[in-house]
Amino acid sequence: MAVSFSDLSSAAGLKKLDEYLLTRSYITGYQASKDDLTVYAAIAKPPSSDYVNVSRWFNHIDALLRISGVSGEGSGVTIEGSAPVRDAIATPPATDTKAVAADDDDDDVDLFGEETEEEKKASEERAAAAKAAGKKKVVGKSSIVLDIKPWDDETDMKVLEEKVRSVQMEGLLWGASKLVPVGYGIKKLQIMITIVDDLVSVDSLIEDYLTAEPINEYVQSVDIVAFNKI
Cα 55–Cα 138–Cα 53 angle in degrees, nearest 5: 10
What CATH number has the domain spanning 141-229? 3.30.70.60
pTM of the model: 0.43
pLDDT digits 0-9 by tens, 27-55: 888 888 888 888 888 887 888 889 999 99
Q: Among 40-49, 62-71, 75-84, 102-111, which is the least confidently predicted range?
A: 102-111
- What's the pLDDT score for residue 230? 74
Domain positions in the chain: 3-135, 141-229
pLDDT digits 0-9 by tens, 158-203: 999 999 999 999 999 999 989 999 888 999 999 999 999 899 999 9
pLDDT digits 0-9 by tens, 109-167: 444 445 567 766 777 777 777 666 555 555 788 999 999 999 999 999 999 999 999 99
- What's the pLDDT score for residue 90? 45
